Structure 1
Amino acid sequence: MDERAEGDAVVEGRDTRTSVRAWLRLLACTTLIENEIRSRLREQFDFTLPRFDLLAQLDKAEDGLVLGEASKLLMVSAGNVTAVVDKLLASGYITRQPSPTDRRAQIIRLTHAGRAAFRTMAEAHNGWVEELFAGLSDAEIAGLTDHLARLKRSAQSHIEPREPSRRRGRD
């Protein structure tokens, strides 16, 4: 006898509650870890996660980034990137210059001070993540990484392209 409550559904032979429970657990873990990283960045470096994320993208981009590229990489609106850029400019961590090929476009780059500050924060960040994952073995982390990659591919195959999410908070 099927004991599902009214409103429970089955998709391709699977009880949808299983997927929803997994999603809620994933969301809880993400939120827990992200909030802890935010707190530690604020407490130890007087820095925000959006600023750290932008410095991380710039650290990988030797020639800098056009503001629109940064917005896409961070999956936030151009207005959110502009607010973060303004803070980082004021701190001397980045520069902003017009593109030599398109005067309407602005290119942002790390300064030496910005790169040094980011690398110090990134080292601490990596340690925090290691600490938060300490309860898992290397094999469990590898398995989790594999499962999450498969989940990402599955989700991407069912998502229509659209504008970047505006969910992330401001600086």
Structure 2
Amino acid sequence: MRAWLRLLTCTTLIENEIRSRLREQFDFTLPRFDLLAQLDKAEDGLVLGEASKLLMVSAGNVTAVVEKLLASGYITRQPSPTDRRVQIIRLTHAGRAAFRTMAEAHNGWVEELFGGLSDEEIAGLTGHLAQLKRSAQGRIEPREPARRHGSKDMGRGARAAIRPKPPG
């Protein structure tokens, strides 16, 4: 239990700092950043339902964030050519440029926050976390992902999207 609480505390501290810096330096929210991160990886755009699943939130939460990003000119929304009921969202050139600027700053902030650790300590931590992930995955029965309805926050899915996936 102590390890879990320590992990949760570290995650919360770092996430809150990233959230504050995004707001202060870019007047941007973490949910909008998370959605742009997912769209940056999706060359052909995303169906709204896919975005909701990737971010592990309700469609209503994604829709609210999409509306803000549309108004800012960072994304477009168009009906699918094969199914007019389906909406596809894509980054605009301005959205991609803005995201990449924020992602570069984000990476710098994470490096700064991990700055008190040596390369060896980071490698060890990464290895231990990979072990923990495998252990947890091996003990969790497959089921539909939980969705947080009515939540103002869009989850933590995309913050990993701007960094290469670690092995394991």
TM range (shorter): 0.7 to 0.9
Alignment check: 8 A CA contact 1:99 1:106 kept: yes
What per-residue deviation string (whole Å, max 9, x for no partner) do you get for residues 110-140 of structure 1? 0001001001101110100000000111121
Alpha-carbon offset, residue 156 of structure 1: 1.7
Structure with greater Cα Rg: 1
1:166 Cα deviation (Å)?
Answer: 3.5
Q: Quote how far apart the aligned CAs of 1:164 are.
A: 3.1
Residues 66-99 of structure 1, C-alpha deviation per residue, up to 9 Å, x if partnerless?
1111111111111111111111011100000111
Deviation of 1:142 after TM superposition, in Å, equals 1.4
Q: Report the alpha carbon displacement of residue 162 of structure 1 after superposing the two structures with TM.
A: 3.4
Higher relative contact order (CA 8 A, sep 6+): 2
Q: TM-score, normalised by structure 1?
A: 0.83
SS of the residue aligned with 2:104? helix
8 Å contact from structure 1 (residues 77, 164) kept in 2: no
Deviation (angstroms), 1:143 = 1.4
Unmatched tracts of structure 2, length 5 or more: 149-168
* Secondary structure at 1:96 match in 2: strand
Taking only the aligned residue pairs, the percentage that are identical comes to: 93
So what's the TM-score if we normalise by structure 2?
0.84
Deviation at 1:163, TM superposition (A): 3.6
2:10 maps to which residue?
29
Contact (CA 8 Å) 1:76, 1:164: kept in 2 or not? no
Q: 1:114 aligns with which of 95, 99, 103?
A: 95
How many pairs align?
A: 148
How big is the shift at 1:165?
A: 3.5
Q: Is the 8 A contact 1:68 1:78 kept in 2?
A: yes
Which deviates the most, 114-123 or 69-78? Answer: 69-78
Q: Following TM superposition, by how much is the alpha carbon of 1:103 offset from its aligned partner in structure 2, in angstroms?
A: 1.6
Q: Which digits, 9 at most, give the CA deviation of each residue in 1:16-65, with x for residues without a partner?
A: xxxx0000000000000000000000000000001001101101111001
